[in-house]
Amino acid sequence: MSGEIHLSVVGAGQMGTGFAVHFRLHDQTVSLVDHRQSNLDRARERIRESVQFLNEQGVTTMSPSAVLDGVTFTLDTEVGTADADVVLETVSEDLEVKREVFRELADATDEETILATNTSSLQVSDIAAGFEFANRVVGCHWLYPPYLLPTVEVIAGEETDDEVVEELVALLEAVDRKPIVVQKDVPGFVWNRIQFAVLRECMHLVDTGVASLEDVNTAIRDGYARRTAVLGPFETVDLAGLDLFRTVASGIYPSLSDRDTPSPMYDDRLEAGETGVESGKGFFEYDRSADEVARMRDEQLATLRVIFETDEE
């Protein structure tokens, strides 16, 4: 798959608008489909704000108006997906909602159109189960924000055609992403399984009094995460030596958390109304809005992006 690609995005939330921004920055046309006009209106503003931010950070010189000129906003799924090479669904993380969306997409699109889901936890095979068009349903899980984080998981369901996976990988590479192919359709795929395994152990360390919540958070953010930004886990083992890591693993593994239910740290805070940044308190207290906290995160990601791109050159 090369040249101009027409992408349709179903779901005009934060991730959907992020897709529109990223593909437009790579000169692809985008149709953004949603069932509410208010969502599309907000998406237009989000796109404008995101591109302005990327201009300020030196990520792009493309103007918000130039980006928006290549985006079609519509409430009509059939109109919005009629000429699509790829449809990327990013609606709520609910199995039945997604299945209903795919039923509609199958009726509206050509038999050659790739139907991709941005699910982060549902199995692709469950989304496509029983559909005659299951061979063209594929997982395509991006990290947020998609225009700053390059890795995308491509997941084949039990009936997904190999050619669909290959074409999607080629599309992602054409728009400067780094696809990883998930070869088994397991819950959470690769990224979320690693993320939640780390998070489970972090909570276990706090629950059992090994270290404070603040110190565990610091250990990951300022230690582990900084090193893994330049060396992946297997590279780290190679550098230190497999014999050393095998010895250490033998001693540590028996004491690692293996609980199969979420830590009570969640329930205690949820019962107190401490739901996170939006409420002003979660695991930490916040005196800034969610938008301000997200902007701080994105500024740092934009800085890292420039550093990594310079190193690759």
Which residue segments constitute the domains of the chain, with CATH numbers given? 6-182 (3.40.50.720), 191-312 (1.10.1040.10)
pLDDT: which is higher, 306 or 40: 40
Share of the chain above pLDDT 70, in %: 98
Residue 182's pLDDT is what?
97
Chain position carrying tokens 């996976």 = 165
Whether the per-residue pLDDT at 306 is higher than 90: the answer is no
Per-residue pLDDT band at 310 (split at 50, 70, 90): low
Tokens of 306: 């420039």
**pLDDT tens sequence across 261-289:** 999 999 999 999 999 999 999 999 999 99
pLDDT digits (tens, 9 = 90+) for 119-168: 999 999 999 999 999 999 999 999 999 999 999 999 999 999 999 999 99
Q: Indicate the pairing of strand 178-182 with strand 6-10.
A: unpaired
Q: How confident is the model at residue 243 (pLDDT cuts 50, 70, 90)?
A: very high
Question: What is the predicted pLDDT for the residue at 2?
Answer: 52
Instruction: Tally the C-alpha atoms within 13 A of residue 141's C-alpha that lie toward its C-beta.
Output: 23
pLDDT digits (tens, 9 = 90+) for 183-207: 999 999 999 999 999 999 999 999 9
* Local confidence band at 305 (pLDDT 50, 70, 90 cut-offs): confident
Give me 97's structure tokens: 């909602």
Better-predicted residue by pLDDT, 34 or 83:
34
Nearest to 127 by CA among 108, 112, 140: 140
The answer to whether residue 304 scores a pLDDT higher than 90 is no
Strand ranges across the sheet with 71-74: 71-74, 29-33, 6-10, 86-89, 114-117, 137-142, 151-156, 178-182
Position 129 scores a pLDDT of 97
Q: Is the pLDDT of residue 208 over 80?
A: yes
Q: What is the mean pLDDT of the chain?
A: 95
